[in-house]
């Protein structure tokens, strides 16, 4: 018999698969106009971070759905603690599971987070998510707490916050 959590997860995603941007439109996480805006920017190489304060709101789901729009010429590379500084070479889409100071051990913080943001200077596309409800919170966590240079923080093109019924805030840092 499935646990309560497993049951609730199945209700949320009965096909037990990664949701697409079309799925997010269907469940009214994003509308068509916002989906087109996000997809077109990601396709053109935009780095992005999705965020929300609480877990279970959809930041990882949104992050994953947008990955399908990353240019075909960019290989995916996973940014793991202790290994970020060794990522180099050809331009790639560098993905961090989350930017956070708590478990699981795949999350980036401190030196690893600074190394992740420095990859943008080398032309890599950066993708991640964070527990933050607004621009001030994400700026505090990344720039003030972790001492990421302001220019590297501002090189993130899209900051997208999840909420009900639609993604309620998107900052297009590239315009």
Flag whether pLDDT at 87 surpasses 60.
yes
pTM: 0.83
CA 55 to the chain's CA centroid: 13
Residue that has been written with the tokens 């599971």 in this structure: 97
The verdict on residue 96 lying in a domain is: yes
| Domain, as residue range, for 81 | 19-172
Distance CA 82, CA 77 (A): 14
The verdict on residue 10 lying in a domain is: no
- Region 41-67: what's the mean pLDDT? 88
CA 114 to the chain's CA centroid: 16
Number of compact structural domains in the chain? 1
**Are the beta carbons of 59 and 94 closer than 8 angstroms?**
no
Per the prediction, the chain carries an average pLDDT of 86
**Are the beta carbons of 119 and 85 closer than 8 angstroms?**
no
CATH number where 29 lies: 3.40.50.300
The verdict on residue 1 lying in a domain is: no
Burial class (CB in 10 A: 0-12, 13-18, 19+), 133: middle
């Amino acid at each position: 018999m499935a646990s309560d959590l497993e049951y609730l997860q199945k209700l949320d995603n009965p096909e037990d698969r990664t949701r697409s941007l079309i799925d997010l439109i269907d469940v009214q996480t994003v509308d068509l106009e916002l989906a087109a805006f996000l997809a077109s920017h990601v396709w053109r190489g935009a780095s992005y971070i999705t965020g929300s304060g609480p877990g279970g709101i959809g930041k990882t789901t949104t992050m994953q759905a947008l990955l399908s729009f990353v240019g075909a010429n960019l290989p995916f590379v996973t940014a793991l603690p202790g290994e970020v500084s060794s990522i180099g070479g050809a331009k790639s889409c560098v993905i961090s599971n989350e930017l956070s100071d708590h478990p699981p051990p795949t999350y980036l913080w401190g030196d690893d987070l600074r190394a992740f943001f420095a990859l943008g200077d080398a032309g890599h596309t950066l993708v991640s998510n964070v527990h933050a409800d607004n621009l001030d919170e994400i700026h505090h966590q990344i720039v003030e707490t972790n001492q990421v240079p302001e220019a590297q923080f501002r090189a993130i093109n899209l900051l997208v916050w999840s909420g009900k019924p639609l993604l309620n805030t998107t900052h297009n840092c590239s315009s």
